[in-house]
Homo-oligomer: A and B are copies of this chain.
Amino acid sequence: MDIALREARAAAARGEVPVGAVLLRGGVELARAGNRMRELSDPTAHAEMLVIRAACADTGSDRLPGTTLYVTLEPCPMCAAAIAAARIARVIYGASDPKSGGVERGPRVFSHSQTHHHPEVISGIAERESAALMRAFFAARREEQR
């Protein structure tokens, strides 16, 4: 999760909402990324999506069985559905996201039969640091907008 947190901090430094992710298989890193929506003008460029796309491109497969995704924030429904489509085995995330989360709340993407793969989910790892990054980012943005 330290790598994911570093990616989140790097995202904040680029003016992006500070979320970072890293994908591992058997202790080997496959990909890491932070949010790049603004930089790439791409609303789908969430950290999780970038990690999934990079790892699939590298492995030449659209599935990533046996992998663990670490991400600093509860995935949104887009990322949760992509995680399921990629058959990622385990998702470990930091802070909950009451505003936009799609795992524990709202769409609860992994709780429906229309989602054909339900990864193991562990939450609350490095929760405090992950949430603090988000709070600091949005506080600074509000300050700028005054």
Give the contacts of A99-143 with B (CB-CB under 8 A).
99-102, 105-109, 112-116
B109 x A77 contact (CB < 8 A): yes
Residue of B nearest to A107 (CB): B107
Q: How many copies does the complex hold?
A: 2
- Stretch in A1-9, A26-34, A58-66 touching the partner: A58-66
**Complex Cα gap A37–B44 (Å):** 15
B115 x A107 contact (CB < 8 A): yes
Which chain B residues lie closer than 8 Å to A37 at the CB level? 62
Give the interface of A toward B (CB within 8 A).
37-38, 40-45, 49, 52-53, 56-57, 59-63, 76-82, 85-86, 97-102, 105-109, 112-116
